[in-house]
Amino acid sequence: MADISKPILVIGGGISGVTTAVEAAEAGAKVVIVESNPYLGGRVAQLHQYFPKLCPPNCGLEINFKRIKFNPDITFYTDAKVTSVSGSRGNFDVTITLNPRFVNEKCTACGECEKVCATEVPSKFNYGLNKVKAISLPHEMAFPNRYWFDASAASLDELKKCAAACKYGAIDPDAKPETVTVNAGAIVVATGWKPYDMASLDLLGAGQLPNVISNVQMERLAAENGPTKGKILRPADQKEPESIAFVQCAGSRDENHLKQCSSICCLASLKQINYVRQQYPDIPIYMFYIDVRANGRYEDFFVKVAKDDANLTLVKGKVASIKQDGPDLLLEAEDTLTGKKTSQKVNMAVLATGMQPARNGLSIPGLDYDDMDFVISEPDTTGIIGVGCAKSPVEVVQCMRNATGAALKAIQCCK
């Protein structure tokens, strides 16, 4: 085994960062993970099902969390940020800033603090679909399983009330930000992605129409730990939808929005059609697309979803207008196979918004980004390795394969 004296810094604790960390640590390296959320697991934790086997996310994440928990070579910081980096390949001086630990490791997630907290904020984890208390457990499966206080939304007085309600002394209203320094041999950039902002999609309702949701919101609606306990309901009135349209390429492959094809949205929508159909066996479902990019081994999945479903209508033509029409939504497209314009009334529309790199203000000397803000990974010269969706828009399996390779590269950089 190689002598890996310096740790590897992994920025981002999503599926790519976690996989890189576990793979590298289990090969003998020391790893430090820095995650900006108060929990690990990233976007995958927010899914309802993920490919290839349509598992719920705890399926893949839990085993990784366990591997992290029992591996002394992995240190991780949540609610933290890399604030400065200097040095070069094999020798990086890194400063990490930890947000105040208002809730510490003594927390048992009993929930007493939440009961006394009056302030409510839109749930970040549920993409704003519901409200949660300013002090709350980020989500049921959160790792670490610890409450988190949103200092941007509530006052310290509110926090003091919470502290008074805590039997375990786990809440410290006087906590201050801390800094940690690490001398790392390599840096893995696993900063992942964020869904493209619906507010920018002026033709598709600009985020203003309550029954127009994004594909990531749909995952939360369908998830059992989501705002509706897994029942897919119209956000405007919490009623069962009588028709749903899936709108592909909502801002993707678009010079005015995201230039890239995110490569996962077509299959994601087909997956969603699949689970919507299980809940609602008879409602009309529409999918508007430019072309269906269900690639590789998933090509059959498209056939599986689309065939023998008389109430599923596939329209080849991009939706270029969504307007409110009374209680309904009116979608307009040109059906390019008939050469005529088509107007479709539906109850609810799901925009297949793409993956935008979540750079999150990170700036490291020597690290370059391309014109779409994806990491240009040149580990041999820079000692910085881009991985997963920070490097290109890919699905979970690709991220994990990519992470395994990144772990090896990172170890080579530390030698």
Task: Note the residues at the interface with another protein (CB under 8 A).
Answer: 203, 249, 253-257, 290-291, 317-321, 332-334, 336-341
**Residues near 200 by beta carbon (within 8 Å), at least 6 away in sequence:** 206, 251, 257
- Closer by beta carbon to another protein, 171 or else 322: 322
Edge-to-edge strand list for the sheet holding 178-184: 80-88, 91-98, 178-184
Q: To which H or E segment does residue 235 belong?
A: none
Instruction: Output the CA–CA distances (angstroms, integers) from residue 347 to 130, 306, 326, 359, in the order listed.
Output: 20, 21, 10, 35
Residue with tokens 């939808």: 241
Cβ-contact 386, 373 below 8 angstroms: no
Q: How far is the CB of 319 from another protein (least distance, A)?
A: 8
- Closer by beta carbon to another protein, 255 or else 371: 255
Q: How far is the CB of 214 from another protein (least distance, A)?
A: 18
Instruction: Output the CA–CA distances (angstroms, integers) from residue 95 to 40, 83, 178, 317, 349, in the order listed.
Output: 20, 6, 10, 49, 44
Q: How far is the CB of 103 from another protein (least distance, A)?
A: 45
Cβ-contact 311, 209 below 8 angstroms: no
The candidate with the shortest Cα–Cα distance to 6, out of 89, 65, 68, is 89
Running DSSP on this structure, what letter comes out for residue 50? B
Residue with tokens 């793409």: 354
- Closer by beta carbon to another protein, 281 or else 339: 339
What are the start-end ranges of the E strands in 225-296? 244-250, 285-289
Helices first, then strands: H and E counts in the chain: 9, 24
Q: How far is the CB of 331 from another protein (least distance, A)?
A: 10
- Closer by beta carbon to another protein, 120 or else 254: 254
- Cis-peptide, bond into residue 144, ω within 30° of zero: yes
- Closer by beta carbon to another protein, 103 or else 204: 204
- Closer by beta carbon to another protein, 108 or else 321: 321
User: What tokens does 194 get?
Assistant: 């964020």
| Integer-rounded Cα radius of gyration of the chain | 22
Q: How far is the CB of 43 from another protein (least distance, A)?
A: 24
- Closer by beta carbon to another protein, 129 or else 290: 290
Q: How far is the CB of 340 from another protein (least distance, A)?
A: 5
- Closer by beta carbon to another protein, 59 or else 199: 199
Running DSSP on this structure, what letter comes out for residue 297? G
- Closer by beta carbon to another protein, 203 or else 408: 203
CA distance 241 to 345: 12
Say whether 33 sits in a helix, a strand or coil.
Answer: strand
Q: How far is the CB of 313 from another protein (least distance, A)?
A: 16
Q: Which amino acid is at 405?
A: G
CA distance 285 to 177: 49
Q: How far is the CB of 255 from another protein (least distance, A)?
A: 5
Q: How far is the CB of 203 from another protein (least distance, A)?
A: 7
CA distance 91 to 100: 28
Say whether 334 sits in a helix, a strand or coil.
Answer: strand
- Closer by beta carbon to another protein, 19 or else 262: 262
Q: How far is the CB of 412 from another protein (least distance, A)?
A: 41
Q: Which amino acid is at 207?
A: G
